[in-house]
Each structure stands twice: as C-alpha cells, then as structure tokens.
Amino acid sequence: MRRFSLLGDYMPGNFVGSKWWKVDFHAHSAASTTDAFRNADALSDRDWLLAQMAAGIDAVVVTDHNSGGQIDALKTELAALQQERPDGYRALVLFPGVEISTPGPVHVLAVLDPSKATSDVDHLLGAVRYGGTKGDSDAVTELATSAVIKMIIENQGIAIPAHYDQAKGLGKQEGQTLGQVLETDGLLALEVVGATFQPAGMLMQSRKSFSFVVGSDCHKREDIGGRYTWVKMTEPNLEGLRFALLDGERSVIRFDKVAGDLNDQHAQI
C-alpha cells in the first residue's frame, strides 16, 4: 500500500474545506420484506440509526427493495436523536433512496436529496412503472433498465447499478442491455462488491469512466457498516456526492483499499 504524504493526491487538505466521509450507498431497513430487521428480534428505527453511528458511518443511503416506506420514520427518529444526544450518538446524514428491480433482472440504486421523503420515492416508483409489492425484490419495472436510470436522473437523483459484479447485477447482462446502460448520459458510478474486481468486456470498452462504490447491503444487524465508501466532500449532500463521483478515484475510495482514517495524515492506501 502507498503511504499518503502531505502533498499527495488524497490528503483532505488538497481541497479547501473538504474532508473524507464514510458513506454506505446501499442499506436496507425494515421496509424490505425479506429483512431480518422485520423479525421478532428486529432493530427499531432508533437502534438501526444508533448501529449506523456505532459503525462510524457518516452518511447512509436507505435503499429498500422497491420501497421508501421507512424513510419518514427514520428521519423522524433521527431528529429525535439529534435533540436528545444519547450515549453513542454521532452526526449522521440520511439520503432517501430505493433499490429498484428492473428487467433482466437488474437492481438499480436511486440516491435522492436528504430533503426528500417517502412520497418522493413513491413518485419515482410510479414514474418507472413498478407495479409489484413494495418491499419485495421479485417484481420488476415495466421500463427497461436504461430508461429507469434516465428517470432517476431526470428526478435529480443519482443512479447506481447495484452489485454490478454479483447476481442481479448489470455485469451479468450482455449485448444491447449492458451497452445501453453503460452509455446512459449522467450515469456516474457502479456498485462493485468484489475487492479484486477488474473492468472487462463492454465496461472496459466503454467511452465513459465510472466511479466504483460499495455499500453494506445490510439485511441484518451484524452487516451494518460492514462495507462502505470513503467520499471526499465539503459536506455530505447530493451535490457533494455528484461532484465526488465525477472526480473519480481522487474523491472516491472503497473501504478495503484503506488502512486507517483517511482524514489522518498517517492513513495508508
């Protein structure tokens, strides 16, 4: 691994006012019907949030399967925690989002502005013509994957094909479907789970470059905060995410490429 220097590309001092934030781009809550969070030993919304804080996560995208049903409740509980400041509290930013099942099947993450609510996710699901059970991952949208991504972007969101290199990931597709998605204007990033992933095939041939991010895809307590992405931003907001993803590896680094805290000059990559 390469040690950072005070003049290195990745030091937080390179950009005035910026720092590195731990972002989980892919997290589930009790709104996903297959979640352990819904069982008898389920985490309450408060415990879910405190578990994110305990894991050191700075910002988390709530991406339940075809549902934004838990977002309003989580935002309400977070506001209460901000007022009470109980033991274990630390600042946390919630990004409303959703994991949309599209034909293929391919899963796509939508990341929305922190000001958005459950109703905004419902609006997006209607726009992409998802008619299945909310919280269920089996039904798919009427729109094709590339059209779903365009719709997310048109709704001012960030679209990220989920677990690109895994089952129900875009990388398992071939030919026209894969090519159309990769060339979609405004597509900035792919979620890649495998630490040793190397671009190949159409991804290697694409005229575009992408940031590679990773999230926990947490469905049970022990998975919370297990995988995340370091993102360099002034503040953890939607535009900060967008600019970082545009900047690529200078501003986006997966957790397992780093030893230590990236805001510490002794961190290694």
Q: For the segment 199-256, what is each residue's pLDDT rounded down to a tens digit?
A: 888 888 887 899 999 999 999 999 999 999 999 999 999 999 999 999 999 999 999 9
Please determine, for residue 184, whether its predicted confidence score (pLDDT) is greater than 60.
Answer: yes
* pLDDT band at residue 41 under the 50/70/90 scheme: low
Domain-by-domain residue ranges, the chain?
12-257
The closest alpha carbon to 144, from 97, 105, 190, belongs to: 105
* Torsions phi, psi for 104 (to 5 deg): 145, -55
**204-213: b or e for each residue (b if 16 or more CB lie within 10 Å)?**
eebeeebbbb
What's the token pair of residue 120? 């905004």
- Above 60 in pLDDT, residue 78? yes
pLDDT at 105: 93
Residue 189 reports pLDDT greater than 60: yes
Compute the residue count for the chain: 269
Note the pLDDT of residue 33.
87
Pairing of strands 93-102, 59-62: parallel
Domain 12-257 has CATH 1.10.357.20: no
46, 66, 76, 162 from 42: Cα distances, Å: 11, 20, 18, 25
* Range 9-21 average pLDDT: 59
**Under 8 Å between Cβ of 112 and 157:** yes
Residue 14 pLDDT class (50, 70, 90 cuts): very low
Query: Mind listing the pLDDT tens digit for each residue in 147-179?
Result: 999 999 999 999 999 999 998 999 988 777 788
Confidence at residue 1, expressed as pLDDT on a 0 to 100 scale: 33
Beta carbons within 8 Å of 198's beta carbon, 6+ residues apart? none
Among candidates 130, 127, 150, 128, which has minimal Cα distance to 139?
Answer: 130
More confident residue, 9 or 197: 197
